[in-house]
Structure 1
Amino acid sequence: MKILKQFLIFNIVFFIIGGVASSEDLFQSLISTYINNKELNSQREKAKAVNEELIQSYAILKPSITGTFSQSDYLNEGQKNQSGSSIADSNLQTKKKAIKVEQKILQGIPNILASKTNVKISSNELKFVEQNVLLKAVTAYTSVLASKKRLDITRDNLDLADKQVELDKSRYERGAIKLSDLAQSESSLADAKAKFIRSENSFAVSEKDYENIIGYLPKNLETIKNLDLNLPKSLEETLELASLNNPELLISKLNFEKSNYLLKGAAEKFAPKASVSFEVSENEDVSSNISERDQSQFEAKVEIPLYSGGKNYSFYQQKKALKISAELDYQDKQNETRKNATNVWSEYQLKKSELNLAKAQLQAAEIAYEGIVQEYESGTRDTLDVLNSRSLLLIARLNFIDVERDEIISRFKLLQVTGNLTSLHLKLETKQINPKTNWIRHIF
């Protein structure tokens, strides 16, 4: 008996520990999303590609080294000397080995600066995608929790409706209620079944959404409690953070900066281009008189563009128009960001108020339902009163679930608009993934 008791205790403890260990909280789901989400990983690869463009643009500042090896065969036929006498045919083979070093001088600087700006743009584009993906993960997580609660509530409602029908059948047989009362209970049962089926479908859909975004089906998700996100305390703080950190605004600002560099790069086409080169070569059988020769050549070259058919001027005008367009886009994005930040802050305040009202509504509905059930059991209330009260309670419960989810999502939307919905700000316990792994190569 003692052994059996110990065995039961062990199994209970194992079950509890195992249950806790297998559960997952919101931040664990966000870590999985940050590491595994395909959309986010795809954007990281794009950021790496942009970094490679910067490395390529730096190449113009470095010398190019070219090695050459050539071999030629010459066959001289029908040769005659000055007196008109024929000369025997001859065959000459030449070989050349050469190394040439060439350096362009002060070319491509605006394009390098544009490429550096492109890296910053790419970084903010990655941040933009990261924020969107993490918000999708939060929405998926909270939707699974809400769908599960909705499923449990509609199941309880179905059980109550079923018991109500059984109770009313018994009371009808005793003549305590009318047939219409029983019919109302049966109608309520049918409605409860429909709501339960819809909740089942909604739960299945939310699980699939979770899997698509986070990478696996949800299992034992923990309720979100004590969520400390270090949110802005006022609209003014929200607007200030958005103006400094919002990735969409920063992308627009950087695009304007890049357009300036591209315009300077277009103007560079009108400027002279200078380069120097040095070549060392080894030649064999250069002529019939010289069999070998080592040669070195230094060259300084300046190219001055005189006329290009209007191409360079047209290119300059194109970049000038794009610069003006980028500046207007940036001004428009500033206004749009302020508007979005204001709307998101207002929505957050609204959701907090709605949550408090939903709590009060739920508490009132629970008290009312308990009182009406007691009055029904004492005979002072009829079936319709109970059904109406239970319907109001169900509405209050489902509404509270939706409002609670929306309030949580509104917090993360506030983080998003201020540019802080990132793994770094959320302090996710995972290694930060930085696409600039090959940046050091630009030195070489």
Structure 2
Amino acid sequence: MSVATSIRRNVFAFLAGFGGIALSVTAAGAQPLDSALASAYVNNPSLNSQRAGTRATDENVPKALSGYRPTLSGTASVGVASDRASYSGTVYSGGTVPRTFALTATQSIFNGFITGNSTRSAEAQVRGARETLRNTEQTVLMNGVTAYMNVIQAYALLDLQNQNLAALEQELRATRDRFNVGEVTRTDVAQAEARVADAQYQVSQAIADLSSAKAVYRQVIGVEPGKLTTPKSIEWMIPASIGKVISVGLGSHPAVKASEYAVDTALFQVKVAEGALMPSVNLQGQLSQSYQPALTTDQSASAAVTLNMTVPIYQGGQEYANIRQTKELLSQARIEVDVNRDTIRSQAVQYWGALDAAKAQIQSAQAAVAANTLALEGVREEWRVGQRTTTDVLNAQRELTNSKSALVTAQRDRVVAAYSLIAIIGKMDATSLKLKVNVYNPAVHYNQVRDSWAGVRTPDGQ
């Protein structure tokens, strides 16, 4: 068998196995990406915190609706009094213990549409909070994808560095053997020793990178990384053109939707502030019972129903400042919509380019790996017969390791870029990714508390 034939067989064998090694730790008993994302969906504290914040926002609606409901209050007083009275020349004096009990009910009839606008503002806040929750979910799951791929990449790079170190140590032993028989100089040995020392450092650095990647994985996913494997492609979910990605993202991304609901909230807050300039009308009823209110009276009772109207004339200017302030906040909210749209547009272009670049890099790196594998085998054969120097062999080994590393990195970047585009179009969620979890539905809590009139316990029993 010729040297060229042997080299070609080695190249083909390498390429056949490299695709499975580059971005896969192990296939047996592997923890797939969707399983890791399911763990993040359930365990991530940032996501759980945002869910609690969304539930807290739900309570703004019953708070606003309380303006439609009557208020009921009771008062009681007791004291000691000394009275002196004169009647038909007769003087009466003595001490009493006056006691009064009263029950007052008040129903707002008109308050400048403040209650209605406050309710609509609170409902817009709820919708915005749900979009913020969805955006947090996307961020957490995207961080989960990145952490997952970083661990796989770190394992693969560590494996490559270990292979490189083993190859260089073999080259060093061969160089020392040839030095002992006078075929190479001490300089060749020193060069091989230097490359081995550098490879040992690269292994140590790869170990540190792996440790860091695993720590981030634990933070995002909530569990230690197990046996990971290369995820299936989701590029079929990405629209066919960058223009379509931008169009869908501008209409569906939760950050954009949340900012649009923030505009609605701010608009109703302006109307709430303007309501302070309008008159208010309320109906009030009161029942009271008094004991020993005076020296000559044992007890008395009263009942009254009144219709009250209050017309604001001037309150120091605070209401006008509030109106101006809410209008500026409305302008700010509208600008934030444009900011978020520009961000989504920019990120869409960025990730689309990153995906195209990663695909091109994979093709280039695969060709480079094949060529460098062939070149290294050829240089080694030529070095054995004295046609190449030790430096040539060491350089060929380094080029092969670099091209393998570039391929690993490009494969990782392709997966991350694809998921980033999925997030841009608002599909980076448990439902769209078909994660095997109980999907959190924020509407459940909202419906439980919206029309609640009383009670201090939350629906989950706290």
Please tell me the TM-score bracket, short chain as reference: 0.7 to 0.9
Q: What is the alpha-carbon distance in structure 2 between the residues aligned to residue 108 and residue 433 of structure 1?
A: 30
Which sections of structure 2, spanning at least 5 residues, go unmatched?
A: 1-25, 453-462
Which residue of 2 is the match for residue 277 of structure 1?
Answer: 284
Once the two structures are TM-superposed, the CA of residue 246 in structure 1 deviates from its matched residue by 1.5
SS class of match (2:440): coil
Which residue of 2 is the match for residue 11 of structure 1?
Answer: none
Q: 1:441 aligns with which of 429, 443, 449?
A: 449
1:135 to 2:103 alignment = no
Which residue of 2 is the match for residue 370 of structure 1?
Answer: 377
1:183 to 2:190 alignment = yes
TM-score, length basis structure 1: 0.88
Once the two structures are TM-superposed, the CA of residue 155 in structure 1 deviates from its matched residue by 0.7
Once the two structures are TM-superposed, the CA of residue 428 in structure 1 deviates from its matched residue by 0.9
Which residue of 1 is the match for residue 215 of structure 2?
Answer: 208
SS class of match (1:306): coil
Q: Is the Cα–Cα contact under 8 Å of residues 72 and 103 in structure 2 kept in the other structure?
A: no
Q: What is the alpha-carbon distance in structure 2 between the residues aligned to residue 391 and residue 356 of structure 1?
A: 20
Once the two structures are TM-superposed, the CA of residue 378 in structure 1 deviates from its matched residue by 4.6
Q: What is the alpha-carbon distance in structure 2 between the residues aligned to residue 158 and residue 382 of structure 1?
A: 19
1:3-62: CA deviation from partner (whole Å, max 9, x where unpaired)? xxxxxxxxxxxxxxxx97853111111111111111111111111111112221111122
The one-letter code sitting in structure 2 at the alignment partner of 1:442 is R
Q: Is the Cα–Cα contact under 8 Å of residues 107 and 273 in structure 1 kept in the other structure?
A: no
Q: What is the alpha-carbon distance in structure 2 between the residues aligned to residue 443 and residue 206 of structure 1?
A: 47
Which residue of 1 is the match for residue 87 of structure 2?
Answer: 81
Q: What is the alpha-carbon distance in structure 2 between the residues aligned to residue 335 and residue 211 of structure 1?
A: 33
Which residue of 1 is the match for residue 129 of structure 2?
Answer: 122
Once the two structures are TM-superposed, the CA of residue 93 in structure 1 deviates from its matched residue by 3.8
* Cα 1:20–1:186 shift into 2, 3 Å: closer
1:328-358: CA deviation from partner (whole Å, max 9, x where unpaired)? 3323433333233222222222222222222
SS class of match (2:229): coil
CA RMSD across the alignment? 2.4
1:128-180: CA deviation from partner (whole Å, max 9, x where unpaired)? 22222222211111111111111111111111111111112222222333333
Q: What is the alpha-carbon distance in structure 1 between the residues aligned to residue 364 and residue 95 of structure 2?
A: 106
Q: Is the Cα–Cα contact under 8 Å of residues 31 and 228 in structure 2 kept in the other structure?
A: yes
SS class of match (2:431): helix
Which residue of 1 is the match for residue 354 of structure 2?
Answer: 347
Once the two structures are TM-superposed, the CA of residue 282 in structure 1 deviates from its matched residue by 5.0
Q: What is the alpha-carbon distance in structure 2 between the residues aligned to residue 186 and residue 357 of structure 1?
A: 31
Once the two structures are TM-superposed, the CA of residue 424 in structure 1 deviates from its matched residue by 1.9
Compare 180-189 and 387-396 and name the one that shifted more: 180-189
SS class of match (1:426): coil
Which sections of structure 1, spanning at least 5 residues, go unmatched?
A: 1-18
1:314 to 2:301 alignment = no
Q: What is the alpha-carbon distance in structure 1 between the residues aligned to residue 107 and residue 266 of structure 2?
A: 30
The one-letter code sitting in structure 1 at the alignment partner of 2:144 is A
Taking the TM superposition and a 5 Å limit, the aligned residue runs for 1:18-417 are 22-66=29-73, 68-73=74-79, 75-83=81-89, 85-91=90-96, 93-96=98-101, 98=103, 100-105=105-110, 106-227=113-234, 230-282=237-289, 295-417=302-424
Q: Is the Cα–Cα contact under 8 Å of residues 63 and 104 in structure 1 kept in the other structure?
A: no
Q: Is the Cα–Cα contact under 8 Å of residues 47 and 137 in structure 2 kept in the other structure?
A: yes
Once the two structures are TM-superposed, the CA of residue 290 in structure 1 deviates from its matched residue by 6.6
TM-score, length basis structure 2: 0.84
Q: Is the Cα–Cα contact under 8 Å of residues 102 and 277 in structure 1 kept in the other structure?
A: yes
Q: What is the alpha-carbon distance in structure 2 between the residues aligned to residue 442 and residue 287 of structure 1?
A: 48
Structure with more contact order per residue of length (Cα contacts < 8 Å, sep ≥ 6): 2
Q: What is the alpha-carbon distance in structure 2 between the residues aligned to residue 284 and residue 38 of structure 1?
A: 59
* Cα 1:396–1:269 shift into 2, 3 Å: same
Q: Is the Cα–Cα contact under 8 Å of residues 375 and 381 in structure 1 kept in the other structure?
A: yes
